Amino acid sequence: MRIEWQIKVEDARLLELMVDGEVWKEVHKASFLRKLSSLRSCSNRKELECCFAQLEEGVASNAVLRLLSARDYFPAELRKKLEASRLSDRAITSALEKFHRLGCLDEEALTQRYIATLKRKGKGRRYIVQKLKEKLGYVPQLPHNAEEESEAIAHLLEKRFPDLSKGGEKVRARAVRFLLSRGFDFGSILLELKKLDKSSSI
């Protein structure tokens, strides 16, 4: 059995693994190029499949380790990145399960940290839910804390629009648009504006 590889003509990022002159697999060049020599010792297809599976799992685990050493990732984010590297679902799942067992992919803890970060940045509930949907791959249940949202809106209004009560309708409309862009609920924004109106009229 003759095993060799070559750069794919249409896409230089990919390698074509050739077995007996026919394309067997396409792999990501940057991930595999220096790791393929072990395949040449395989004497039959079954042995080749087994050897490649082990090699691919190692590549997937190394990729996860490299990504997590830079910052936190949600499992769904890691899966997308690994899929972009042409790794098989089996190798990806195996790598993610491995790091989950090691305690590196605690989705609940990651979610709570991410929510806290977004709140510190002055983001509202709708914005946070949308971002979590992107990160997790599904819509999470996020309880509505009216008091917390009210405090966040009041803080942003005081910081960004200190003269709101004197600014007229244009400034008020700009404040509403700003808060909506931050993901705050329209009803909560109006409620906070009414509170400001009452306090300024006293």
Q: What is the pLDDT along the chain (202 residues), one digit of tens a residue?
A: 888 988 888 899 999 999 999 999 999 999 998 899 989 899 999 999 999 999 999 999 999 999 999 999 999 999 999 999 999 999 999 999 999 999 889 998 999 999 999 999 999 999 999 999 999 888 888 888 889 999 999 999 999 998 887 778 889 999 999 999 999 999 999 999 988 877 765 5
Q: What's the domain range around 22?
A: 3-104
pLDDT recorded at residue 201: 57
State the CB neighbour count (10 A cutoff) for residue 98: 16
- In angstroms, the CA 59 to CA 47 distance is 18
Residue written as token pair 């946070």: 128
| In a shared domain, residues 27 and 96 | yes
| In a shared domain, residues 7 and 98 | yes
pLDDT recorded at residue 163: 82
Backbone angles phi, psi at 17, to 5 degrees: -85, 120
- The last residue of one of the domains, among 70, 104, 138, is 104
- Tokens describing residue 119: 């709140």
| In a shared domain, residues 98 and 16 | yes
| In a shared domain, residues 11 and 90 | yes
- The last residue of one of the domains, among 85, 104, 123, is 104
- CB burial class (10 A; 0-12, 13-18, 19+) of residue 179? buried
- Helices and strands in the chain: count of H runs, count of E runs: 9, 3
CATH number, position 83 = 1.10.10
- Tokens describing residue 157: 């209004």
Number of domains making up the chain = 2
| In a shared domain, residues 69 and 123 | no
| In a shared domain, residues 74 and 131 | no
pLDDT recorded at residue 200: 63
Cα pseudo-dihedral 195, 199, 200, 202, rounded to 10? 140
| In a shared domain, residues 7 and 99 | yes
Measured CA to CA in angstroms, residue 24 lies from 19, 20, 57, 107 at distances of 6, 9, 18, 36
* Sequence-separated contacts (24+) of 174-179 with Cβ below 8 Å: 179/124, 179/153
Cα pseudo-dihedral 132, 136, 139, 143, rounded to 10? -50
pLDDT recorded at residue 62: 95
Q: Pick from 78, 90, 81, 91: which is nearest to 35 by CA?
A: 91
| In a shared domain, residues 58 and 28 | yes
| In a shared domain, residues 79 and 112 | no
| In a shared domain, residues 92 and 115 | no
Beta bridge partners of 6: 16
| In a shared domain, residues 27 and 95 | yes
- The last residue of one of the domains, among 104, 131, 163, is 104
The answer to whether 169 and 193 are in contact (CB under 8 A) is no
| In a shared domain, residues 11 and 88 | yes
